[in-house]
């Protein structure tokens, strides 16, 4: 690791000011950033650790929204009765991220900001139509993800919370890459209050997380595993690596969507 200064403010405004400095970078749970720093793929001059800021942590229900603080750990979401009651798919998702130690440190803000193409949370944010709240503004999930490891966050912008509309039903079906424990191809399926169905796919797209319109239309019209059979999922635009071909991933999109439908039927 290159050397850097380390600060751990307890106040968000102090952190935001510190992040205005040249070469400053936010540290969430460090479960991605610390390995990146070890490989010298990043060279911040100052790390601003957000983990001491209590106002970034916590889960609360606000009307028809579930609001999760940007510094809330995966483990806290997985263990939350409020989340289980409102959006059970988020409990399924967070309880399968990595391992217990990763879940005790890693945060929702860090996961969304990082937008790893195989990360779990981005699929839920897209499928549920989440709103990403920062210290500056609110960003719709559909506008937030900008391709591999890219988001519409500006330099120094901090994710303070994520607002999830509470759906009628939700589930996360993960097909794990067993060595990394990330998603090889996973599907977050949400049945919204108005009856429409939204499908977020992670791990498969060469440009990162995406919604599959064909599957959404078919399932909104007819919520059954059979409806999935009638949709063609193209291998074009799917990623290709030593773990899976684009065709294999395209097939998995259908398989995991069917499992999701069956889980909710």
Partner 1 sequence: MRPKGVKMATISMTVNGKQLSGEAQGNTLLVEFLREELKMTGTHVGCDTSQCGACVVHVNGESVKSCTVFASACDGGTVATIEGMANDDGSLGVIQQAFQDEHGLQCGFCTPGMVMSIADILKNNPQPTEAEIREGLKGNICRCTGYHNIVKAAQSAAATLSGAAQAAE
Ligand X SMILES: Cc1cc2nc3c(=O)[nH]c(=O)nc-3n(C[C@H](O)[C@H](O)[C@H](O)COP(=O)(O)OP(=O)(O)OC[C@H]3O[C@@H](n4cnc5c(N)ncnc54)[C@H](O)[C@@H]3O)c2cc1C
**Distances from the Cα of 237 to the Cαs of 108, 134, 201, 204, in angstroms?**
27, 30, 13, 9
CA 172 to CA 189: how far, in whole Å?
Answer: 6
Place of tokens 């949370």: 121
* Residue 51 or 224 with smaller CB distance to partner 1: 51
Tally Cβ neighbours within 10 Å of residue 103. Answer: 21
Q: Does 14 bind partner 1 (CB under 8 A)?
A: no
Among 1-9, 109-117, 125-133, 252-260, the segment contacting ligand X (CB under 6 A): 109-117
Q: Does 1 bind partner 1 (CB under 8 A)?
A: yes
Strand ranges (E), 101-142:
131-134, 138-140
Place of tokens 């916590």: 58
Partner touching 163 among partner 1, ligand X, none, CB below 5 to 8 Å by kind: none
Burial class (CB in 10 A: 0-12, 13-18, 19+), 153: buried
* Residue 120 or 227 with smaller CB distance to ligand X: 120
Partner touching 57 among ligand X, partner 1, none, CB below 5 to 8 Å by kind: none
* Residue 32 or 170 with smaller CB distance to ligand X: 32
Q: Does 181 bind partner 1 (CB under 8 A)?
A: yes
Give me Rg for the CA atoms of the chain: 18
**CA 162, chain centre distance (Å):** 10
Q: Does 35 bind partner 1 (CB under 8 A)?
A: yes
Partner touching 51 among ligand X, partner 1, none, CB below 5 to 8 Å by kind: partner 1
Strand ranges (E), the chain:
5-7, 24-27, 46-49, 59-62, 65-69, 131-134, 138-140, 159-165, 169-176, 183-191, 197-202, 210-211
Binder to ligand X among 50, 124, 125, 218 (CB under 6 A)? 50
Write out the binding residues for ligand X, residues 58-77 only, by CB under 6 A: 70
Write out the binding residues for partner 1, residues 91-130 only, by CB under 8 A: 98-102, 104-105
The binding site for partner 1 (CB under 8 A) comprises 1-6, 8, 27, 30-31, 34-35, 37-38, 47, 49, 51-52, 75, 98-102, 104-105, 181
The binding site for ligand X (CB under 6 A) comprises 25-33, 50, 70, 97-98, 102, 105-107, 109-111, 113-114, 116, 119-121, 158-159, 181-182
């Amino acid at each position: 690791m290159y050397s850097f200064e380390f600060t751990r403010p307890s106040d968000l405004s102090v952190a935001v000011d510190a992040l205005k400095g040249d070469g400053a970078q936010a540290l969430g749970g460090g479960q991605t950033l610390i390995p990146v720093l070890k490989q010298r793929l990043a060279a911040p001059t100052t790390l601003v650790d957000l983990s001491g800021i209590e106002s970034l942590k916590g889960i609360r229900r606000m009307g028809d929204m579930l609001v999760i603080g940007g510094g809330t750990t995966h483990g806290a979401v997985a263990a939350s009765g409020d989340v289980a009651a409102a959006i059970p798919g988020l409990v399924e998702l967070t309880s399968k991220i990595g391992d217990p130690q990763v879940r005790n440190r890693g945060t929702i803000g860090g996961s969304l900001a990082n937008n790893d193409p195989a990360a779990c949370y981005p699929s839920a944010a897209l499928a549920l139509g989440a709103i990403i709240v920062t210290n500056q503004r609110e960003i719709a999930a559909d506008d937030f993800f900008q391709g591999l490891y890219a988001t519409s966050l500006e330099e120094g912008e901090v994710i303070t919370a994520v607002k999830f509309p509470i759906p009628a039903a939700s589930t996360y079906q993960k097909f794990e890459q067993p060595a990394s424990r990330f998603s090889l191809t996973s599907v977050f399926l949400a049945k919204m209050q108005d009856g429409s169905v939204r499908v977020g796919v992670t791990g498969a797209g060469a440009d990162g997380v995406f919604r599959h319109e064909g599957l959404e239309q078919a399932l909104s019209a007819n919520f059954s595993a059979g409806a999935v059979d009638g949709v063609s999922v193209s291998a074009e635009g799917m990623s290709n690596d030593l773990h899976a071909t684009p065709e294999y991933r395209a097939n998995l999109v259908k398989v995991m969507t069917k499992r999701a439908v069956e889980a909710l039927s």
